[in-house]
Chains A and B, each alone.
Chain A
Amino acid sequence: MAATLESMSVSPDELKVRIESAIPGTRAAVSGDGHHFEATVEGPAFAGLSRIDQHKLVYDVFGAELGDRIHALSLKITATEDR
């Protein structure tokens, strides 16, 4: 079942692309081992939001995959001033 195994593991690049395309103007750097990831994310979309809401914005990109397919995603988020 190569297809199943393939779909279980996630590449850091996939996370980067999904974050950047889901949240306009955002730049992400992601590293990880296929299950646990660390992401540094910055963009104007985070300006004026509480930390909780900043993290939720990124979590929402992945929905139920978090804690499941993506076992853990550690975030460092920076709001940038202008676009």
Chain B
Amino acid sequence: MSDPATNEMRDALKSAIAENPVILFMKGTPDAPACGFSARTVAVLESLEAPFAAVNVLPDPRIRQELSALSGWPTIPQLFIDGELVGGCDIVMEMHETGELQRLLGVSGSAGTAMAEAPAAASAAEPAPLSIENLL
């Protein structure tokens, strides 16, 4: 049975995932996470200064229901990069430790210090690739 409201929700989720290169479905907001796992995932993305879209799943239970049906992933948070499910908190932490997350996001490695350097100077010094390459 296809409930039109359900389809609408699923379509909205699909286009959000397609339109945002990095999108995090979480409990709460990046400024006020409502769950420790969501908070940790946000903290990693922010430490890498990776821009990301965030969707709070709490206001409407159908968001979570449809998202899990779509992704096959039962829990929140869920991080998508370039339209693909990367995983939840555990996987994001592991990939951050190994550097895979940084590669996937197209940000420079471990260096909080490197990120703090003046971006203008850095880009003048070398032709930094600006586009996030598809590394999949």
A75 on interface, CB distance cutoff 8 Å: yes
A72-B37, A76-B90 known; A52 vs B85 contact (CB < 8 Å): yes
Extra contacts besides A51-B87, A56-B73 (7): CB < 8 Å: A51-B94, A52-B85, A55-B88, A56-B72, A67-B75, A67-B76, A72-B37
User: B-contacting residues of A (Cβ < 8 Å)?
Assistant: 51-52, 55-56, 59, 63-64, 66-67, 72-76
User: A-contacting residues of B (Cβ < 8 Å)?
Assistant: 37, 72-76, 85-91, 94-95
B interface, by DSSP: helix, strand, loop or mixed? mixed
Which residue in A51, A63, A64, A67 is a CB contact (below 8 Å) of B91?
A51
Which residue in A51, A52, A66, A76 is a CB contact (below 8 Å) of B75?
A66
- The distance from the CB of B84 to the nearest CB of chain A, in whole angstroms, is 9
